[in-house]
Amino acid sequence: MEEEKYQISINCKGRDYLVVVDDLETATQLVNGMYKYYVKKPTERDIETTKVLLTLRQRDFRLFDDKKTSKRKLWNEIADTLKQYGFNVGPNRGERRRQKFSNLIKSYISYVKNQTVTGAERNDNIPPFYEELHSILGSKKK
């Protein structure tokens, strides 16, 4: 009788790999290990970069509220400033910063809405950078 093999398809850095293992335990460990790899905790450098990003965004809040100012240009300028400070900016510099800020706003708004809904369970899981976002968005109605 032939032993059962387990095949796992993994996409790593844009390439597909097929891994064959002999037992379920090894397959489970491999899958769980890959999950932990993809769900990484932010490094100190990531946190520092986000704090500087929020500081720069708050500095330019009037320009972001101005309907005549190009937001794309503002995000590119913020990305260029981050690069001058020595942070890794990468491709699509402004768009990636805008998306990062947008994701932070989503978690902030979700938390605030949950806190104000009658009958909602209390959520003590405060989103990252809540205070910084509150100082930027606190007066806006979202």
Q: Render 8-53 in DSSP notation, one character per residue.
A: EEEEETTEEEEEEESSHHHHHHHHHHHHHHHSPPPPHHHHHHHHHH
Residue 65 domain boundaries: 44-137
Same domain, 34 and 50: no
Rounded distance, CA 6 to CA 38, Å? 21
pLDDT in tens, the chain (142 residues): 567 787 877 766 667 777 788 887 877 777 776 655 555 677 888 899 999 999 999 999 899 999 999 999 999 999 999 999 999 888 889 999 999 999 999 999 988 888 777 666 666 778 889 999 999 887 565 4
Position 39 scores a pLDDT of 53
Same domain, 91 and 118: yes
Same domain, 86 and 66: yes
Q: How many domains does the chain have?
A: 2
Domain-located, residue 142: no
Helix (H) or strand (E) holding 97: helix 93-116
Position 14 scores a pLDDT of 65
| Predicted TM-score of the model (pTM) | 0.67
The per-type count for the chain, helices as H runs and strands as E runs, is 6, 2
Same domain, 122 and 88: yes
